[in-house]
């Protein structure tokens, strides 16, 4: 039985299929929740992790399995890969409600986003000296998709190189390069609209 047939069994309310789904994918979902928490540098209680896990399952089945029914298996995407992305997005969103996903003020052992930007561009430090400019940068980052903010977190705050990000996200290198270019283009466009780039 392929993934789409398996999902159809779950959508029809077959109890055995749903039991198999829980057995097969619970560990994967937990692993990716913990992966996001580790990368974000968050320590949540076991109860909070359990809440995220339960909310993810609830989001899949609420409104008569509305979310789960969106899985299509396009471009060879397996159910496991799709659930990984659902879990990552949901967990980031959960954390975002607690605090911003990417904070330029967060000071870590190796420095935060503000330091990274300052180090990589001589003009960045001057740009970030103004509180208004910092707020603009935060707004531009906040306007990105959660997936893109997560990529920035990995690339800037966690200082993973593109090959490490490729392994972490289980993407090919071309897809990682495209995502990075798309994020930079969106940020440039945002800065331009706000009058900071010519």
Pick the CATH number of 3-98 from 3.30.70.260, 1.10.1740.10, 3.30.565.10, 1.10.10.10: 1.10.1740.10
pTM for this predicted structure: 0.52
Q: What is the pLDDT of residues 59-118, one digit of tens each?
A: 998 888 899 999 888 777 889 889 988 998 888 888 877 764 444 444 444 444 444 444
Pick the CATH number of 113-193 from 1.10.3720.10, 1.10.10.10, 3.30.420.40, 3.40.190.10: 1.10.10.10
Q: How many Å apart are CA 87 and CA 66, to the nearest integer?
A: 16
CB 149 within 8 A of CB 184: no
Instruction: Provide the 8-state DSSP code for 170.
Output: T
Q: What is the pLDDT of residues 145-185, one digit of tens each?
A: 877 888 877 777 667 788 888 887 777 888 888 888 888 88
């Amino acid at each position: 039985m392929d993934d789409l047939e398996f999902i159809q069994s779950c959508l029809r309310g077959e109890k055995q299929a749903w039991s198999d789904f829980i057995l097969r994918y619970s560990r994967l979902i937990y692993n990716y929740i913990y992966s996001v928490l580790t990368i974000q540098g968050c320590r949540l209680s076991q109860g909070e992790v359990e809440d995220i896990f339960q909310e993810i399952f609830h989001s899949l089945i609420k409104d008569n399995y509305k979310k789960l029914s969106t899985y299509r298996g396009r471009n060879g995407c397996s159910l496991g890969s799709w659930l990984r992305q659902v879990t990552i997005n949901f967990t980031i969103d959960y954390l975002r409600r607690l605090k911003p996903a990417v904070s330029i003020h967060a000071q870590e052992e190796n420095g935060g986003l503000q330091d990274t930007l300052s180090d990589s561009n001589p003009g960045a430090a001057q740009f970030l000296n103004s509180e208004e400019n910092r707020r603009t940068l935060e707004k531009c980052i906040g306007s990105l998709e959660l997936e893109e903010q997560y990529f920035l977190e990995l690339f800037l705050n966690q200082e993973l190189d593109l090959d490490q990000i490729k392994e972490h996200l289980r993407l090919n290198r071309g897809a990682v390069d495209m995502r990075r270019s798309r994020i930079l283009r969106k940020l440039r466009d945002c800065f331009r609209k706000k009058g900071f780039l010519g």
